[in-house]
Chain A
């Protein structure tokens, strides 16, 4: 799914974009705890859950719950599909910025 400007609307939101970029910093096969991700992004748990659900529905991130009680841990990782989607998003973004600087206009 793409918006008018060609940017993937699932990723094109400040919090979701930050989530994707942050998770892309991890190596393949690694995951990040929900709490650390929340701390890095500075958002409320509820807000983060909402955005993660959208990304998970699109198949871009995977969340796994493990342990129980005080040892409960929710880990979040970027899927291969998510990594490709982010690569495409940044490529489109670069094109938009390049064409805007050539035409002297402000891209939306």
Chain B
């Protein structure tokens, strides 16, 4: 390895570029992978639920198989995110780690509260209200989490994605259950996958 003043400017520039690419690959959480994991949950999982309720008269809710698909995909997404985050965060400590833990705990707590709310209100509200809480509220929670995370990472894509998910989930308040599922699958999943493509292209020059 070249040392001290032996390096020419070109060699130094190559060292900078190489070190930057390696550090980004190893130490920065891959946003495209995280967006893709959750995008597939929304698009395929909620898409499957939507297909299972299409044409239902009267509406009786998504099939057990489609609900199972969502849980299996969500399980894979959680596992993938845990691996991605732990690999990138290994050896790093400090403010951003503390903020990230706060955001993740807030999301997990919010999701648990939503699950409890679903169970509590199931028999006492209309199917439309229940569908909003069960399907659109997790999208709202995801959107708010991305907005919070964007402040930490100063990431514009995460902010725009979060804002879009909040708007998409809010629009579900005026929709029927089947349309809520379609909105979650297409506006939610589609936006996450689009964000993955945008982030990949934005950082293409880093590789």
Shortest C-beta distance, A46 to chain B (Å), equals: 14
Given contacts A17-B12, A75-B93, A97-B13, contact A25 B20 (CB under 8 A): yes
Cα of A35 to Cα of B90 in the assembled complex, Å: 10
Contact B1 A15 (CB under 8 A): yes
Contact B93 A31 (CB under 8 A): yes
* Chain B residues whose CB sits within 8 angstroms of the CB of A5 once the complex forms: 9
Contact digits for A18-30, partner B, Cβ 8 Å, 1 yes 0 no: 1001101111111
Main secondary structure of the interface of B (DSSP, over half): helix
A61 at the interface (CB under 8 A from B): no
Cα of A47 to Cα of B116 in the assembled complex, Å: 55
* Among B23-31, B60-68, B136-144, B180-188, the stretch in contact with A: B23-31
Contact A14 B3 (CB under 8 A): yes
Contact B3 A13 (CB under 8 A): yes
Shortest C-beta distance, A82 to chain B (Å), equals: 14
Checking B3, B5, B12 against A93 with a beta-carbon cut-off of 8 angstroms, the contacting residue is: B12
Kindly name the residue among A14, A75, A107, A108 whose own CB sees the greatest number of chain B CB atoms within 10 A: A14
Contact A7 B9 (CB under 8 A): yes
B201 at the interface (CB under 8 A from A): no
Contact A93 B96 (CB under 8 A): no
B15 at the interface (CB under 8 A from A): yes
Checking A12, A24, A29, A30 against B5 with a beta-carbon cut-off of 8 angstroms, the contacting residue is: A12
Within 8 A of A (CB), among B83-100: 90-97
